Structure 1
């Protein structure tokens, strides 16, 4: 896997083999936390409770992780109680709610070495049109740049239509493809 530049603002699009998305996620979060970053994980693909268990097995420090979970409440109908360091949004397609949750999480971590991981952009296509996703990624990326933070967007290989891939590729600093280790 290509290393993430942990100095200054860098925004990456990781395009992963769908079977390796979880592993790619864990590798990125492991690297970022090892470099002293707090991570805000936006999950539209895997519920935060499952990711938390995977991170614990990997030895990733939980005190450096904050989740914005857009899938659990949608799947269960209600948000689980007693889930520290987690904000639940109603569904992955509610970009207004997701944008507010991201802004609030970033505001709370101002001054920290914070990185945002979005898992996964390709999953958003189930709920939203490509132009809406592109606008949202542009909004989040500009916020990340203005705050001088890092961001990683994950996508399944062949999971984005060509126009959306082109638009997102023009927004990010680097596209890392086909990570097969």
Structure 2
């Protein structure tokens, strides 16, 4: 595996993001409140080039921007596809260079167009950019669209990430009574980071990759 820009930065989890290969898609799956957002933000820094597009369905861009730049530095290019501001009828929802707004988490077409547009721009740049794409979270998309539609959406997104030699990272809340979403999305990804709450805090393990521990590890 080849290392990315994030190699030189210290990590907050037991993961080794720099060992992710370009073109890799990773699912981060586990119950709520088990550190999935931290894992997402860390792995997005595995991109070969310091550019990231983050689809946010839970938090305002300002919140995630601060967390991301604290981890990776403000020199890292970060743009958002914001799925919540217009749905909440917030005042400032005009698109900017840093934020593209869609009508809501159920607008899979709008999300796909916005995210794919950034990948296309990277691919067509004079010096091709191989950045990262994150979605936080697939669980919110599933509240507005059925599993079949979200699976088809993710089939397209993960394929474009792979074809552009980027890194894709997607979070999913899991529940023991309904394992099907995790099983389906796992089929589209090269690796899965599973999270859970241990006795002393969050734990994780990696399936399908060599960029982290394969047994449950505290962090």
TM-score surpassing 0.5?
Answer: yes
TM-score, scaled relative to structure 1: 0.85
Task: Work out whether residues 28 and 170 of structure 2, in 8 Å CA contact, stay in contact via their aligned partners in 1.
Answer: yes
The corresponding residue for 1:139 is 156
Seen in structure 2, the aligned counterparts of structure 1 residues 147 and 160 have a Cα distance that, compared at 3 Å, is farther
Question: Following the alignment from structure 1 to structure 2, what is the Cα–Cα distance between the partners of residues 161 and 2?
Answer: 27
Task: Work out whether residues 2 and 176 of structure 1, in 8 Å CA contact, stay in contact via their aligned partners in 2.
Answer: no
The corresponding residue for 1:80 is 93
Matched, 1:43 2:60: no
Question: Following the alignment from structure 1 to structure 2, what is the Cα–Cα distance between the partners of residues 56 and 160?
Answer: 36
Q: Deviations over 1:100-147 (max 9, x none)?
A: 111111112221121111111112121111111111111111111222
Matched, 1:8 2:25: no
Which stretch has the larger CA shift, 18-27 or 112-121? 18-27
Question: Following the alignment from structure 1 to structure 2, what is the Cα–Cα distance between the partners of residues 36 and 16?
Answer: 28
Cα shift at 1:56: 3.8
Return the structure number with greater relative CO, CA threshold 8 A, min gap 6: 1
Larger Rg: 2
The corresponding residue for 1:54 is 67
Cα shift at 1:61: 2.0
Question: Following the alignment from structure 1 to structure 2, what is the Cα–Cα distance between the partners of residues 81 and 25?
Answer: 27
Unaligned runs of 5+ residues in structure 1 are none
The corresponding residue for 1:99 is 112
The corresponding residue for 2:37 is 22
The structure 1 residue matched to 2:137, chosen from 101, 112, 120, is 120
The corresponding residue for 2:79 is 66
Seen in structure 2, the aligned counterparts of structure 1 residues 109 and 80 have a Cα distance that, compared at 3 Å, is same
**Aligned-pair RMSD on alpha carbons?**
2.4
Report the 3-state secondary structure (helix = DSSP H, G, I; strand = E; otherwise coil) of the residue aligned with 2:66. Answer: helix
Question: Following the alignment from structure 1 to structure 2, what is the Cα–Cα distance between the partners of residues 3 and 81?
Answer: 37
Cα shift at 1:63: 4.4
Task: Work out whether residues 108 and 153 of structure 2, in 8 Å CA contact, stay in contact via their aligned partners in 1.
Answer: yes
Cα shift at 1:75: 1.6
Seen in structure 2, the aligned counterparts of structure 1 residues 144 and 25 have a Cα distance that, compared at 3 Å, is closer
Cα shift at 1:95: 0.8
Report the 3-state secondary structure (helix = DSSP H, G, I; strand = E; otherwise coil) of the residue aligned with 2:79. Answer: strand
